[in-house]
Amino acid sequence: MSEQSKDVCDPNFAADASHPEVHSSPGVSGGPSPPASQAATLAGPDIPPVGTPDAPLASPQPQAPSEEGDPKALQQAAEEGRAHQAPSTAQPSPAPPAPAQLVQKAHELMWYVLVKDQKRMIIWFPDMVKDVIGSYKKWCRSILRRTSLILARVFGLHLRLTSLHTMEFSLVKALAPEELDRVALSNRMPMTGLLLMILSLIYVKGRGARESAVWNVLRILGLRPWKKHSTFGDVRKLITEEFVQQNYLKYQRVPHVEPPEYEFFWGSRASREITKMQIMEFLARVFKKDPQAWPSRYREALEEARALREANPTAHCPCNSVSED
Amino acid sequence: MQGSTRRAGVMTDVHRRFLQLLMTHGVLEEWDVRRLQKHCYKVHDRNAPVEKLEDFINNINSVLESLYIEIKKGVTEDDGRPIYALVNLATTSVSKMASDFAENELDLFRKALELIIDSESGFASSTNILNLVDQLKGKKMRKKEAEQVLQKFVQNKWLIEKEGEFTLHGRAILEMEQYIRETYPDAVKSCNICHGLLIQGQSCETCGIRMHLPCVAKYFQSNAEPRCPHCNDYWPHEIPEVFDPEKEREAGVSKSNKRPPRSRQH
């Protein structure tokens, strides 16, 4: 891959030599892989459903006609990347910047990515170039590599290209998977609780949840569409806009229904970050029942957990799959 | 590239998880930080003794040093609560927040910041801020929109609102002290005791020196006749109490409106 493109940077520069227990979060292909199979790894479960465009914040993406897993796609992205940025001229390449400058850029990029992730905003590659890398575009690969190294060594986070199509990155925990860090610390928890409530409703129904059904559930928490809440603020805006923008939920019109009604689905980010087993645990906690009280859902969750374990070997062995079988 | 050259800073998964979660939350109060630290030990190194918080943080900071970031400890200006945040020391202006907000939103913040710094009380009224909406760079913003943006700043802990007036959140002061000093060198106020940046505080009516409320509390603790440290005139203001985390816990759940409501888990 490194031979093909100069402008698009390696998506899978896993820098986890120091991590004996590298474990990506569910949905993202794990571990370092030899360059030849990188394209194949990308075709794994981490590509969000491409049927519907999944990057609502971004301007219309150039569509790569070939399949994501194809090495050609990487070439294409490289070309599109070049076209998207300033048209390359026939100028002689500028002198490489001092190493200290590249290091500084890497630090800036690290902070940029951390803040984006903190705000649960999309980390979009063209934004990274525009906002941080700027005129050091040519060296973005080494900058990106250094940034991921730092993030892995210091924060235990992996900067992964999660969608080649939309050129989105995300920060993934490299530490052992945990239940959602239930440290119950002020701000973040209520949002997660609210989100989990909706996601679990959708999951239990097995299909989209109508907006009316969602509000029935939220009524249990004392939330109404017209009332401003002390913690959540405008709840309706939060769930129909913010969570949607962050790709945790999808909010779509129900076809063929008059007057118009809307329903919620899981967003691509929810599918990536939250496992079905976590939903079952959440349900069990909230309703004080055994997760097996939802037998078919529980079975699904078990299957997903098994599939994830097989896809992400715990031991750090690049070419070895250490599954239970 | 890892800053483990000079000092003995060693990053383990305990530290990494701590950093991750601290970053996630933006800013945390000290009791939250202690709980967080214990949680990280429990997850990764159950049997190890929990290192003293100060040493734990210094350890991490020695590694972060070469990255120009730091876990900074500060104190809320109104009631002296210790807070911690992971801050970027490289002053690249308000664009520190640039990844979060649109151009016109950033400019609104800048305008509010200026009003706050220039004010006597450290507060800028909502009306005054909103009146500047026409002067904003970027996309045109209506006053209604600006009100919501100001609320966004409050939710993200950049500003605090009190009775229709806005001042800087402790987090903003932690993150932006350097930037503020460099950008408004003449308007900036400092505390006479700790010499830190001062937004809210008390001032001597005779000689004009200022002090943070928690600095006043500590300086005049159990002093029956408080006098200005500079001109020795009688200190005319009410002396606040020194923040006591133990008393806090005994008192129960939420004390002032500054404390985010401890919502139950859903």
More confident residue, A188 or B118: B118
Report CB contact under 8 Å: A181, B21.
yes
What average pLDDT does range B231-242 have in this prediction? 89
Cβ contacts of A19 within 8 Å, gap of 6 or more:
A152, A156, A174, A316
Q: What is the DSSP letter of B247?
A: H
Gap between the Cα atoms of B45 and B55, Å rounded: 17
User: pLDDT value at position B127?
Assistant: 93
Closest-CA residue to A69 (of A39, A102, A90): A39
What average pLDDT does range B41-48 have in this prediction? 83
Residue B39: strand, helix, or coil: helix
* Helix locations, A96-239, DSSP H: 99-118, 125-128, 140-150, 188-205, 211-220, 235-237
A100 touches chain B (CB under 8 A): no
ipTM: 0.77
Give the pLDDT band of residue B56 (cuts 50, 70, 90). Answer: very high
One-letter amino acid at A76 equals Q
How many residue pairs from chains A and B have C-beta atoms closer than 8 A? 104
Of A103, A154, A221, which has the smallest distance from its Cβ to B11's Cβ?
A154
Structural contact between residues A149 and A187, judged by C-beta atoms closer than 8 angstroms: no
pLDDT at A325 over 70: no
φ, ψ of residue B97 in degrees (nearest 5): -90, 0
User: pLDDT value at position A51?
Assistant: 31
- What pLDDT digit, counting tens, does each position of B7-23 carry? 456 788 889 999 999 98
pLDDT at A1 over 60: no
A153 touches chain B (CB under 8 A): yes
Helix (H) or strand (E) holding B124: strand B124-125
- What pLDDT digit, counting tens, does each position of A170-182 carry? 888 765 544 344 4
pLDDT at A27 over 60: no
A57 touches chain B (CB under 8 A): no
Report CB contact under 8 Å: B99, A155.
no
B151 touches chain A (CB under 8 A): yes
What average pLDDT does range B233-257 have in this prediction? 73
pLDDT at B61 over 70: yes
pLDDT at A324 over 50: no
The model's pTM is 0.58
Which positions in chain A touch B19 (Cβ < 8 Å)? 154-156
User: pLDDT value at position B103?
Assistant: 82
Bond before A259 cis per omega within 30 degrees: yes
Structural contact between residues A237 and A267, judged by C-beta atoms closer than 8 angstroms: no
Report CB contact under 8 Å: A197, B151.
no
Gap between the Cα atoms of A130 and A128, Å rounded: 6
Which positions in chain B touch A108 (Cβ < 8 Å)? 90, 92
Chain A, window 110-129: residues with a beta carbon less than 8 angstroms from a chain B beta carbon: 110-112, 114-119, 121
- What pLDDT digit, counting tens, does each position of A63-105 carry? 333 333 334 434 344 444 444 444 444 455 567 778 888 888 8
Nearest residue of chain B to residue A284 (CA atoms): B266
Give the pLDDT band of residue B250 (cuts 50, 70, 90). Answer: low
Chain B, window 20-39: residues with a beta carbon less than 8 angstroms from a chain A beta carbon: 20-21, 23-26, 28, 32, 35-36, 39
Report CB contact under 8 Å: B265, A184.
yes
Å from B25 to nearest chain A CA? 7
Flag the least confident range among A81-85, A129-133, A150-154, A168-172.
A81-85
Structural contact between residues A178 and B16, judged by C-beta atoms closer than 8 angstroms: no
pLDDT at B165 over 90: yes
Residue B35: strand, helix, or coil: helix
- What pLDDT digit, counting tens, does each position of A242-291 carry? 888 888 899 999 888 888 899 999 998 888 878 888 888 888 877 788 88
Encoding tokens for residue B39?
Answer: 């949680």
